[in-house]
Amino acid sequence: MIGPSVLSSVVDARGRPLRLGRKLGQGGEGSVYELPAETDAVAKIYHQPLSKLRTEKLHAMVGMRTEQIDRLTAWPLEVLSLSTGVPIGVKMPRVVGHKDIHQLYSPKSRRTEFRRADWRFLVRVATNLARAFATVHESSTVIADVNHGGVLVGQDARVRLIDCDSFQVFDGAKNHLCEVGVPTFTPPELQGLLFANIVRTENHDNFGLAILIFLILFMGRHPFAGRYLGPGEMPIERAVRECRFAYGAARAEARMEQPPGTPALEVVSEPVALLFERAFARQGISGSRPTAREWIGALEALEGNLKQCADSPAHWHLSGLPDCPWCRMEAATGVALFSLAISPGAAGYFDVETFWQQVTALEHPGPVPALDEAVANARVRPSEDVLVFKQQYWFHGPLALFCGAATLALALFVDLPLPGRLFFFVSAFVLYFLVRRNLRMKEDISIFIERERRLRAQWDAVRAEWDAKAGVGAFDAKLGELNQLRTQWTALPEFREQRLRDLEASKSERQLNRFLDSFRIQPGEVGGVGTSRKSVLESFGIETAADVDEAKLYRVPGVSAKLRRGLIGWRRSIEGRFRFDPDLDSTPPDKETVEQEVLVERLKLEAAIRKGFTDLQQLQKQTLFARTSLKSKVEETHRAFQQCAADLKAVRR
């Protein structure tokens, strides 16, 4: 590895010492440093000294530079060495203000990172990307490792290709190969191969280019990521290898379906669609994939044939389509595809009724499932413990029986007068029960009582947990909350009307207030108010006639009753001059405040509805999860409790 001491001995191509600044980033191969002396270049210093082959390649690249290449790529500017002459790095242009292309093609990050990007912008970026590819290809270079990390995009839709030191370069005599590649951008014929000895071609690049263009135009979707209708797994790499283009005309034969809620291939013009078909078809392997130049032409034509959607100014789409594909997609998914910043004043993509379809589609967890009925109603036999217990006190029963029986024998077999017989007869039963009871008192059943008490407490706790987690209380409460939000959202127009009516109702008052506000308290104008008193009043927020108010004046120290009367009288006299003009409309700023207020309210409600729906989804999952994960515990606890209860009953018998 290169240590810090070495970093101070870096020299440029002409052998002059090069001072490195702050480290900007670090990758697998090396680190990138600022150059304090140059604002438009950076230095990439490799972790290991460069091999001879690598150095040759970089020198070759430096020699190939053209103005056009410099504009479209971060091409190596010169090779850097250590003062000992060992090549160690490369100087490259610094690309400022650009972002990774994945930030652009995913709708979620596009909304925040590319606030001006509509579909026109996306088509333009795709065209610019094709231009960059064409430029590189026309200088006998192959990008080879095409991937989403190698393209940066500016806010003006211009692209820059970075990581150029991995390009495959032909220096007139030989090819300097590229040893890496990203499978999702790798053409079928190269899938699974080691790149070390493979000479990459433009046709290979053209596959990666088509993938990138597809990602840009189709809302970040990979052309080979679809629903596979056959058995088994279908990762992207396999779909690529087997040429299963999920949006293509031949998708049915490939047993693929495009993912739900995605735009169909028809959203691009027919020529562009045909280019995609050619790029992803098996026939493309033989070299017939569309070139970067072909893409430029077709995409330029597409850009010239776009129209703005009548309903949402943020939507641009191919003219001649029956309806706006982005409206359909947004309505179907409830997701904003483009930044709202480009559609000020638009109704917005959010439509509560459409969104509500998702809410209603979310399956209600249903009532708490009844616990196993068989368990609940089973007659539980006393356990082994009870038998042992009964054995321990086996003689109690017979003993009581004996006492009773003996007395009964007296009643039956001893010759006694009838009252005597009757006495013994009754005594026999009394004796039996008394002895039985007394003996039972001596039996130690506390262990069964204690056990039953503990299990009952456990069962109560578990049942409470079951009701709380497996029940639908939380889900229903959240759904109720969402319903309320929906009602509020639907009532927004009325809310707005109400605010405007309020505005109208308070018109006279506001006119008066404005009128009063135009009279400043001037020294000398009101008796007793001089310059110093004026500034005291000002520090209490009393500057104009509109501010003069009995309660306010009380709070100001040193204002005598006389002065107070004077000020209020002054205000009254001005009020007397005021004439209400009903024809004077509420001023635009007032109305704007209302509109702003309504907008804020709407956005707040939308955010709350989205958040509430996410919470609802979580609650549904949590409930269903609890029902499966807690069930056995609940049933076990219930069974254990029933056993203890039965045992207790048995020993008490």
Partner 1 sequence: MSELEQIPFGASEFAENPEPRCPCLLLLDTSASMAGPPIDELNRGLAAFKQELVADTLAMKRVELGVVTFGPVHLLTDFQTPDHFMPPNLASAGDTPMGAAIAGGLEMIRQRKQAYKTNGISYYRPWVFLITDGAPTDGWEAAAEMVKQGEAEKHFSFFAVGVDGADMDVLGKISVRAPLKLSGLRFSDLFAWLSASLSNVSRSQMGQAVQLLPPGWAEV
The Cα-based distances of 306 to 219, 268, 316 in angstroms read: 17, 10, 6
- Please tell me whether residue 625 binds partner 1 under the rule CB under 8 A: yes
The Cα-based distances of 166 to 177, 212, 279 in angstroms read: 8, 18, 23
- Tell which positions 414-443 bind partner 1, by CB under 8 A: none
Residue type, 551: A
Cα–Cα–Cα angle for 332, 336, 338, rounded to 5 degrees = 130
- Tell which positions 108-137 bind partner 1, by CB under 8 A: 108-109
Q: Which residue spans within 66-156 are E strands per DSSP?
A: 78-82, 87-93, 98-100, 141-142, 151-154
Of 173 and 361, nearer to partner 1 (C-beta) is 361
CA 504 vs. chain centroid, Å, equals 42
Helix (H, G, I), strand (E, B) or coil at 89: strand
d(C-alpha 597, C-alpha 263), whole Å:
36
**What's the token pair of residue 25?**
């980033």
The Cα-based distances of 420 to 416, 459, 509 in angstroms read: 6, 55, 109
- Please tell me whether residue 222 binds partner 1 under the rule CB under 8 A: yes
Residue type, 623: T
Among 18, 122, 626, 648, binds partner 1 (CB under 8 A): 626
The contact pattern for partner 1, residues 466-485, with x = CB under 8 A and - = no contact, is ---x----------------
State the minimum distance, in angstroms, from the CB of residue 261 to partner 1: 5
Of 38 and 237, nearer to partner 1 (C-beta) is 237
Residue found by looking up tokens 């009844």 in the block: 370
| Under 8 Å between Cβ of 249 and 264 | no
- Tell which positions 82-111 bind partner 1, by CB under 8 A: 100, 102-103, 106-109
| Under 8 Å between Cβ of 184 and 236 | yes
# chain residues binding partner 1, by CB under 8 A:
60
Among 49, 183, 271, 348, binds partner 1 (CB under 8 A): 183
d(C-alpha 138, C-alpha 250), whole Å:
33
Of 214 and 570, nearer to partner 1 (C-beta) is 214
| Under 8 Å between Cβ of 9 and 23 | no
State the minimum distance, in angstroms, from the CB of residue 316 to partner 1: 17
Give the torsion through C-alpha atoms of 610, 612, 617, 619, to 10 deg: 170
Among 20, 219, 400, 605, binds partner 1 (CB under 8 A): 219
- Please tell me whether residue 332 binds partner 1 under the rule CB under 8 A: yes
* Contact range with partner 1 by CB under 8 A, out of 374-382, 392-400, 411-419, 629-637: 629-637
- Please tell me whether residue 246 binds partner 1 under the rule CB under 8 A: yes
- Please tell me whether residue 336 binds partner 1 under the rule CB under 8 A: yes
Of 69 and 219, nearer to partner 1 (C-beta) is 219
Of 183 and 471, nearer to partner 1 (C-beta) is 183
Of 555 and 621, nearer to partner 1 (C-beta) is 621
Among 3, 4, 231, 260, binds partner 1 (CB under 8 A): 260
| Under 8 Å between Cβ of 30 and 17 | no
Residues engaged in binding partner 1 (CB under 8 A)? 100, 102-103, 106-109, 149, 182-184, 219-222, 225-228, 235-237, 246, 257-264, 266, 325, 328-329, 332-337, 357-358, 361-363, 465, 469, 614, 617-618, 621-622, 625-626, 628-630, 632-633
